[in-house]
Amino acid sequence: MNKNILRLAIPNIISNLSVPLLGAVDTALVGHLDQVYYLGALAVGSVIFNFIFWGFGFLRMGTTGLTAQEYGRRDRREIMMTFARVQVIAMSIGFAILLLQTPIILFSLWIIESSREVAEYTRVYYDIRIYTAPAVLSLYGINGWFLGMQNAKYPMVVTIVLNVLNIILNVTFIYGFGMHVDGVAYGTLISTYVALLLAIFLFLKKYKRYFLQYVGEELLNTAKLRRYFSVNRDIFIRTLCLIFTFSFFTAVSASQGDLILAANTILLQYWFIVSYGIDGFAYAAESLVGKFKGSRNFEKLKQAVFYNIVWGLILGLAGTIAYLIAGSRLLYIFTNNPEVIELAQSVLFWTVLAPFVSSLCYILDGVFIGATETRPMRNTMVASTFLVFLPAYYAGTYIFGIHGLWLAMVLFMIARGVALGLYLPGRVLNSDRLEA
C-alpha cells in the first residue's frame, strides 16, 4: 500500500510544490519593487482569482473521485463520458466568467477595502489575467481525470511546465522589460494556455482510444449529470467557505494598512507551500480511496486511509520543524523592507504551528473526495468557518490584536480536521455504505 501511495503522492508533491513556489517567486519579485502597494495589488488580485477559480475547484476534485470509482469498476464508457462532461461544463463556466468580467471586478474592489494605489494596480492585474479563465477550468477537469485514472505523472508534468514557464516569463517581464504586476499577469496568461495545449497532447498520446467509448447521447444524461452536480454542489459550498476564510483574512489585512497586508501576504506563502506538499498525499488518498470504493475492496480502502493520514502527519511535523529553524531567515527572500520583516516576525509563531495542525484536515479532504462523501465536507467547513473562525477572529482580535487573526486561522484548521475525523468511521470506514 505504501508503494502505491508514494507512486501517486511523490509526483503530486513535486507538482503541487511548484504552485506555491510560483506564488513565492511572484511575491519576492513584486516585494522587491520600489513601492509596497504593488505587493498589496498582487495580494488583492490573488484573492479575487481565488474566489473565481477555487470556487470551481470541484471540476478537479469531483472529477477525480468519480473517475477513480469508474476506474475501479472498469467502466471504460463512463470514464470517457466523465471526461467529456467535465470539459463541456468547464468551458461553459470559463466563457461565462469572461462575459461577466466587468461586474466581477467592480464588485470585488467595492468589497475589498484597500488604498487607491492598490485598487488601481489590482485592476491592471485583473484585466489581463481574467482571460486565463477557460484554460484554467479546463485544466482542472483534465488533471482531475488523470488523477482518477491513477496517473499522477501527467498532472505533475503539466503543472511543472505551467509554473516553471510562468516564473521564467515573470522574471523576464519584470526585470527584462521593467513591468510590475502587469508582467506577472501576462506570464500567467501565456503559461496557462501553453499548459492546456500540453495537457491535451498528453491525453491524446495515452488515452485517445477512449474516444471509441464516446456516446453523444450520453453526454447530457440526466441521471449522470445529477450525480455529478450533487457531489460537486457540496464541494462548491465547501470551497466557497474556504475561499471566504482566506479572502476575509486578506481583506482584514488590507483594511489595516499596506504594511500589515504585505507581511500577512508573505506569511500566507509559508502556509501554502506546506499545504500543497501535504496535498500530494491528499490527492493520493482521492485516487486510491475512489479506486477501492469502486472495486468494493474494503480492506484496501481502510489501509489507504490509515497510511495517507500517517504520511500527512509526518510531512506536517517536518514542515513545522523547518519553519521553527528557518522561518525567520526565509522572510528576507520575500522582501527587503525592514518594517514588513519586523511585523512578520512578530506573528511568525502561528505560521510555525500551521503545518502540523493543518495536516489532518488536508488528508481527510482527500479521503472524503475519493469516497464522494461530500456532504460531511460541506457541513464541517460551514461549521468551522462560521462557528469557529469568525468568532475566534472577533474575540481574538479584541484581546490579542494582530495575533487574533492568526489564532483564528489555526483554530479553523484544527476544527476542520477534528470534525471530519468524527465523520470518518460512519461515512467512509463503513463496509455497509461500501456495499450499498
Q: Which is it for the CA torsion 171, 173, 175, 179, positive or negative?
A: negative
Q: What is the pLDDT of residue 32?
A: 67
pLDDT at 435: 53
d(CA 265, CA 251): 11
Per the prediction, the chain carries an average pLDDT of: 87
Q: Please, which residues have CB within 8 angstroms of residue 11's CB and are 6 or more apart in sequence? A: 152, 153, 155, 156, 280
CA-CA distances (angstroms) from residue 2 to 117, 209, 318?
A: 51, 31, 19
- The lowest-confidence range among 25-34, 272-281, 381-390 is 25-34
Q: Is the pLDDT higher at 430 or at 350?
A: 350
Strand ranges (E), 167-231: none
**Could you identify the residue written with the cell 514588513?**
340
How many whole angstroms separate alpha carbon 222 and alpha carbon 219?
9
How far is 221 from 124, CA to CA, in rounded Å?
42
pLDDT at residue 34, as a whole number:
62
Residue 231 has pLDDT above 60, yes or no: yes
Q: Show Cβ contacts of residue 121 under 8 Å, excluding neighbours closer than 6 positions.
A: 37, 38, 41, 180, 181
C-alpha separations of 256 from 44, 75, 113, 250 in Å: 14, 54, 9, 10
What is the residue whose three cell numbers read 484548521? 413
Q: Does pLDDT of 216 surpass 90? A: no
Structural domain total, the chain: 1
User: Cβ(410)–Cβ(357) under 8 Å?
Assistant: yes
The 10s digit of each residue's pLDDT in 28-42 is 777 666 667 777 777
Residue 22: predicted pLDDT = 65
Average pLDDT over residues 182-186: 87
Q: What does the alpha-carbon distance between residue 219 and residue 83 come to, in Å, rounded to a whole number?
A: 10
Model pLDDT, residue 198? 97
Range of the domain at 243: 2-435
Rounded to 5°, the CA angle 361-349-47 comes to 60
How far apart are alpha carbons 325 and 327 in whole angstroms? 6
C-alpha cell at 102: 466587468
d(CA 173, CA 180): 8
> What's the residue count for the chain?
436
Under 8 Å between Cβ of 262 and 335: yes
Band (pLDDT 50/70/90 cuts) for residue 407 is very high
Hey, what's the cell of 226? 445529477
Taking the C-alpha atoms of 132, 137, 141 and 143 in order, what is their torsion angle to the nearest 10 degrees?
A: 40
